[in-house]
Amino acid sequence: MELALAPETLARWQFGITTVYHFLFVPLTISLAALTAGLQTAWVRTENEKYLRATKFWGKLFLINIAMGVVTGIVQEFQFGMNWSDYSRFVGDIFGAPLAFEALIAFFFESTFIGLWIFGWDKLPKKIHLACIWMVSIGTILSAYFILAANSWMQHPVGYRINEAKGRAELTDFWQVLTQNTALAQAFHTLTASFLTGGAFMVGIAAFHLFRKKDIRVMKTSLRLGLVTVVVAGLLTAVSGDTLGKVMFKQQPMKMAAAEALWDGQDAAPFSIFAYGDVSKGHNSVELSIPGILSFLANDDFQSYVPGINDTNKAEQAKYGPGDYRPIIPVTFWAFRWMIGFGMASFAIGLVGLWLTRKKFLLPQHLRVGEDEVPHLVLFRSKALSPRLSKLYWLVAVWTLGFPLIANSWGWIFTEMGRQPWVVYGVLQTRHAVSPGVSQAEVLTSMIVFTALYAVLAVIEVKLLVKYIKAGPPELTEADLNPPTKIGGDSRDADKPMAFSY
Amino acid sequence: MHLHDVWFVLIAVLWIGYFFLEGFDFGVGVLTRLLARDRLEKRVLINTIGPVWDGNEVWLLTAGGATFAAFPEWYATLFSGFYLPLLVILVCLIVRGVAFEYRAKRPEEKWQRNWETAIFWTSLLPAFLWGVAFGNIVRGVKIDRNFEYVGTVGDLLNPYALLGGLVTLTLFTFHGTVFTALKTVGEIRERARKLALKVGLVTAVLSLVFLVWTQIHGGDGASLIALVVAVAALVAALAANQIGREGWSFALSGVTIVAAVAMLFLTLFPDVMPSSLNAEWSLTVTNASSSPYTLKIMTWCAAIATPIVLLYQSWTYWVFRKRIGTQHIAAEAAH
């Protein structure tokens, strides 16, 4: 009981809850901003109305999401000071800079241009309005980069020295913090996973409409865009995940050994599919694994040696002094599997979908459909899937939209919990990072308040999303098709209602 | 001038920017109850700040991030020390942001009314609490030798800080009222001007007492000048409002905010968070700041990025320069 309610435990739970929750919205924001911008670009270039309707539809869902992403992000910035004041004192010299850069360079950008985009439909000429959503998209990506650079420094501190007199870490090379391989690999992996998330979101919702045979023209375009995004981003997520994994094997061998529940180091180490073990004794009692794969993941070599949990723990004890340097093995092990499993499941479903709905030149004449018809799902050359199987695919496709969200959450739980007991790897332990002056009651209060508030907002958000998803793309109005030619709006309609108002 | 002094000034600038900008959107939030007579007018008010409130709020996030980077000790002591009031502010900002975005997304009256209630309270509470927080920072709080806040929440609710809270609340409301007069058209504009006089007089009295108290507590020549500028600008803003010069009135109420916040920072310097227990334990620009290297990088970033931010944020205000009236609000409730 003591331990369960210790301020450190509570602060960690709060950070976990608020961060995982925040990150439900982040990848959707990043990807939907770019995808919406892409659709709006198609509208401006082709003047095909289906693209404008798609822009309005996905833009609305994007806005419902970004609202939550923005407000939950405020907590992220302030809780370092609130719950982790000793961490802030120790690393602020380094860790604060990317956060300040994020606010000054990326966040201003994103927040200002989102306002212009939301309210700008009847205030800005078409191309300038389009530029605004691209600005938002650039802002979201820059924002992600700075935050990931900061997190990468916690995974693998570089470009710093310890100032003994001041009792803190100090920055010596900011460029190295921004461009170290951990930051590059994490950014690559996070951004590709974000697009996998947005792609799957599009696929799921488009499949829902196509299954009900509603708004076919817009939804077919969306499905296509979603599927291509899922497949390309899914592939790149796997590649970047492999790159990040190799970096981690070098920088945090304990995390990767724990990911595999590989207790003792060995040559030609296997990739474990399932394991059940005894953490206190340090071995697995049941295990199902594929030989050699882990060695390949770590070193591109099926025969190479991979160190295990027990060896690494001993090595860290020798380096950092007595203690237990193992994370919670079952959490790390399963989190790693859920991340890969759910992420790759959505990729596979996308790949199948892309083949099933392939375009006409790969299809025989009788299976081709017009622009206002739902595509046949065609597995083999000349025969569409049975209605039952078609229905099954559409259903699975709808469910896919949640898979990357689950994968993302487990990915963060894996990488953060896998680094324990360190908050900054090899430099500062989590138990030394909490606020000494903040009481148990205070942390408990804020944890309960945030959890309850977030739960209520989740219900509201999901209900709102469902409402707008069901409503489908809006019909276009006269004003939509006649955007202003002057900045600030044309004077001819000075007394007309605004195209968008709160 | 040392870099940590430069950063003290820059942090002050960020807070000034935040209070100048979010000040009027907090004020408009309060006006949804104080000024609006029906729900249509509430919508007019909300839409005057619709495109800009989010960008305004980033000034706070930047102030927070910059404090973390430039004065880690200050950031750590402040945010862990003022834990519960800050929690209330965070909850308000979360609900407020969602309220703006979600209010019009359903046509049901109950849904919309709930969010309108939320907008009022989540504008009022932070407007008050920021004043309390700054009152306490300037007054000094119980900080021990390890820079830890050792007081209680009750200690933060002292008369001086509470008065500070009332000053920010009324000042932001006044700022929001003259902003409304500047940004609206029709009957609501006339009523905003009438209300500005009443709110402005209350603000003037409260501000005068608070700023003089501050001056006696720890002021010097420079802070006295700021005090005089703040009070004079407020009186001038009221006069401009009376003769119907709305642009001037808004600019002058802005000057009041700039001068009043500047005065607080001038009183503070070279401390950033004085200890009321022992002057030796106060956080100062020297003992709370980051290393010169970090400050140098940050200075470059700020020097390049800030003018660009100011440029495109000003452009936003120019794009949405037209006044809004009830005729501009579309009849259908949901979008």
Residues A414 and A393: their CA atoms lie apart, in Å, by 31
**A contacts of B331 (beta carbons < 8 Å):** 497
Q: Nearest 5°: phi and psi at A162?
A: -95, 125
What is the pLDDT, as a whole number, of residue B335?
46
pLDDT digits (tens, 9 = 90+) for B53-96: 999 999 999 999 999 999 999 999 999 999 999 999 999 999 99
pLDDT digits (tens, 9 = 90+) for A97-127: 999 999 999 999 999 999 999 999 989 999 9
Residue corresponding to tokens 């309220």: B99
Nearest alpha-carbon partner for A194 in A399, A416, A405, A414: A405
> CB–CB of A25/A76 below 8 Å?
no
> Considering only A156-160, A347-351, A382-386, A445-449, which range has the smallest mean pLDDT?
A382-386
What is the pLDDT, as a whole number, of residue B222?
93
- Average pLDDT of every residue of chain A: 90
Going by pLDDT thresholds of 50, 70 and 90, the confidence category of residue A340 is very high
pLDDT digits (tens, 9 = 90+) for A282-291: 777 777 788 8
Mean pLDDT of A402-426: 95
pLDDT digits (tens, 9 = 90+) for A445-489: 999 999 999 999 999 999 999 999 999 999 988 888 888 888 888
The whole-angstrom distance between A11's CA and the closest CA on chain B is 12
Confidence check: pLDDT of A1 > 60: no
- Dihedral of the alpha carbons of B250, B253, B257, B263, in degrees to the nearest 10: 140
- Dihedral of the alpha carbons of B43, B104, B30, B47, in degrees to the nearest 10: -50
pLDDT digits (tens, 9 = 90+) for A170-183: 999 999 999 999 99
Confidence check: pLDDT of B115 > 60: yes
HSE, side-chain direction, 13 A CA sphere, residue B43: 24
**A contacts of B291 (beta carbons < 8 Å):** 93, 163, 170-171
Contact: A100, B76; criterion CB under 8 Å:
no
Q: For residue B103, give the DSSP letter.
A: G
Nearest alpha-carbon partner for A210 in A361, A377, A358, A352: A377
For A161, the enclosing helix (H) or strand (E) is strand A160-163
pLDDT digits (tens, 9 = 90+) for B33-52: 999 999 899 999 999 998 99
Residues 233-292 of B with CB under 8 A from A: 290-291
Chosen for mutation from B11, B14, B61 (greatest number of chain A CBs closer than 10 Å) is B61
The whole-angstrom distance between B179's CA and the closest CA on chain A is 18
> Considering only A376-385, B232-241, B281-290, which range has the smallest mean pLDDT?
A376-385
Confidence check: pLDDT of B267 > 90: yes
Mean pLDDT of A384-412: 92
Residues A64 and A462: their CA atoms lie apart, in Å, by 9
Contact: A74, B294; criterion CB under 8 Å:
no
Query: Based on the number of CB atoms within 10 Å of its own CB, is A171 exposed (0-12), middle (13-18) or buried (19 or more)?
Result: buried
Q: Nearest 5°: phi and psi at A60?
A: -65, -45
ipTM: 0.91
The whole-angstrom distance between A318's CA and the closest CA on chain B is 32
What is the pLDDT, as a whole number, of residue A134?
97
> CB–CB of B6/B26 below 8 Å?
no
What is the pLDDT, as a whole number, of residue A3?
61
pLDDT digits (tens, 9 = 90+) for B173-220: 999 999 999 999 999 999 999 999 999 999 999 999 999 999 998 889
Going by pLDDT thresholds of 50, 70 and 90, the confidence category of residue A136 is very high
Residue A451 neighbours by CB distance under 10 Å: 15
Contact: A75, B298; criterion CB under 8 Å:
no
What is the pLDDT, as a whole number, of residue A425?
94
> CB–CB of B265/B19 below 8 Å?
no
Say what the pTM is: 0.93
Q: Nearest 5°: phi and psi at B284?
A: -125, 170
- Average pLDDT of every residue of chain B: 94
For A423, the enclosing helix (H) or strand (E) is strand A422-424
What is the pLDDT, as a whole number, of residue A2?
55
> Considering only A147-156, A194-203, A265-274, B77-86, which range has the smallest mean pLDDT?
A265-274
Contact: A116, B319; criterion CB under 8 Å:
yes
Going by pLDDT thresholds of 50, 70 and 90, the confidence category of residue B32 is very high
What is the pLDDT, as a whole number, of residue A4?
66
Mean pLDDT of A139-157: 96
Residue B185 neighbours by CB distance under 10 Å: 16
Confidence check: pLDDT of A493 > 80: no
Confidence check: pLDDT of B245 > 90: yes
Contact: A89, B318; criterion CB under 8 Å:
no
Mean pLDDT of A248-261: 90
Contact: B104, A502; criterion CB under 8 Å:
yes
What is the pLDDT, as a whole number, of residue A378?
81
Residues A46 and A38: their CA atoms lie apart, in Å, by 12
